[in-house]
Amino acid sequence: MKKFVIITALSMSLAAPAFAETVQGTITDHFKTVVSQTPYNVEVCRDVTVGGGTNTEGAILGGIIGGVIGNQFGKGSGKEAATGVGALIGAIQGGKNNGPTRTQRQCQLETRYNETQKEIYSHSIMTFHSNGKHHRVRFNK
């Protein structure tokens, strides 16, 4: 409706006898893209390995025993190095959990989105020349 009123008013003003110039113009509609997201849930399952992890208590105890055993070797600063190496090896070995491992299925809900796009009207622009001047009028239908 606004488009009709603007065009009519423009045509009437340009049709006046005092206005001898011919006016030509264009109207261009502009659109924009709107994205809509619709959430949905899906259950996702994964097989994970459980068990066989690290053993903190065993690492501490292994480090102490390894340090005591390592202290029995070497002399002077070599004795200190042997103690440190023994403690390190003991902690590594004691920290290993030799328990059984098994595969377990773990499931959880995840939210995903379906996206749809559509073009919708945004605005229009009327462009014309009158009396040597370029005019642009922006309007909504």
Write down the pLDDT at residue 18: 46
pTM of the model: 0.39
Q: Each residue of 21-40: pLDDT tens digit?
A: 566 789 999 999 999 999 99
Q: What are phi and psi of 94, to 5 degrees?
A: -70, -25
Q: Each residue of 69-124: pLDDT tens digit?
A: 878 877 777 778 888 888 888 888 777 766 677 899 999 999 999 999 999 999 99
Write down the pLDDT at residue 98: 63
CB-based contact 116:40 (threshold 8 Å): no
**50-69 burial code (b ≥16 CB/10 A, e <16):** eeeeebeebbeebbebbbee
